Structure 1
Amino acid sequence: MAIQKGIKQVTSNKKAWHDYFVDEKYEAGIELVGTEVKSIRLGQINLKDAYCSFKDGELFVVGMHISPYEKGNIFNKDPMRKRRLLMHKKEILSLFGKTKQDGYTLIPLSVYFRNSRVKVEIGLCRGKKLHDKRDSIAKRDANREIDRVMKSRNR
């Protein structure tokens, strides 16, 4: 994601890029309580095993861990609770149809602040097979080696 004015990246899900092919990206708001926003501002959020699910025409993110805010005492919520994503109804229905027909899944890719609002970037993803993961690791290693050789030649 390119750095733009008014956007502050909080966290990204690197495991999602390793395990899935990301075909499309969407931006969604998220329904949070005040202490969760304060924890996110401190960077205490984990997207590693998170995914999105549908229930009653609404979209929820499951498995997102937001650590309890230290000074929140009784106002802290469960760190692993389901959180509702805020999108237009047409977008939700479109995503629902794609996930049911084509074998796609919805994975949260990153969490960031757009001005003062917390946004979640979700990706419409297809799963990678083991050989696909090996190919991507081999390409990454080859590019790293090429960069290393070019750097030594330029000295």
Structure 2
Amino acid sequence: MNPLHRHAVHAAFVCSALFVGFQSTGALAQSTAAKEPLTVVYWSANDCRWCTWWEGTLIGSGGEAKFLKSPEGQSVRYTVVKKPRLSEPHAERDFSAEQRWLWPRVRDQVDGRIRGYPSFSLFQGDKLVVYAIGENEFASKLLPAIKEKLASK
């Protein structure tokens, strides 16, 4: 084989390998994103009467328990961030050790500000998927987003 032909064959091989590598990297990134855990964050306050309704402390309420028993609730990590009073902004002390990753996001309004209570954020890994306020948006926005993410896994 002459040297010029050998270099052309080598160049073609390298280009093919790079193309396959880039394709598999993209597929790997999509596959990895689909496998990142889903986390529902429930934003609450001790003096929030609608939050007590969600939490089930009033007769006829209890959306939280129903959700946690559902297939969707059992497929996600569920965490509660509760501040002392509605009138106060969230503070670092409101976040447990496992929730520390959320504090800078709230402080710096990375995902926008928390617009009401009770509210819910769905994260896939550290990416916000959807934000919902109240039980109606929980049912119309958050649950469908969870189902969609679970179906794509």
Q: TM-score, normalised by structure 1?
A: 0.27
Greater gyration radius: 2
More helix per residue: 2
Greater length-normalized contact order (CA 8 Å, ≥ 6 residues apart): 1
Q: TM-score, normalised by structure 2?
A: 0.27
More strand per residue: 1
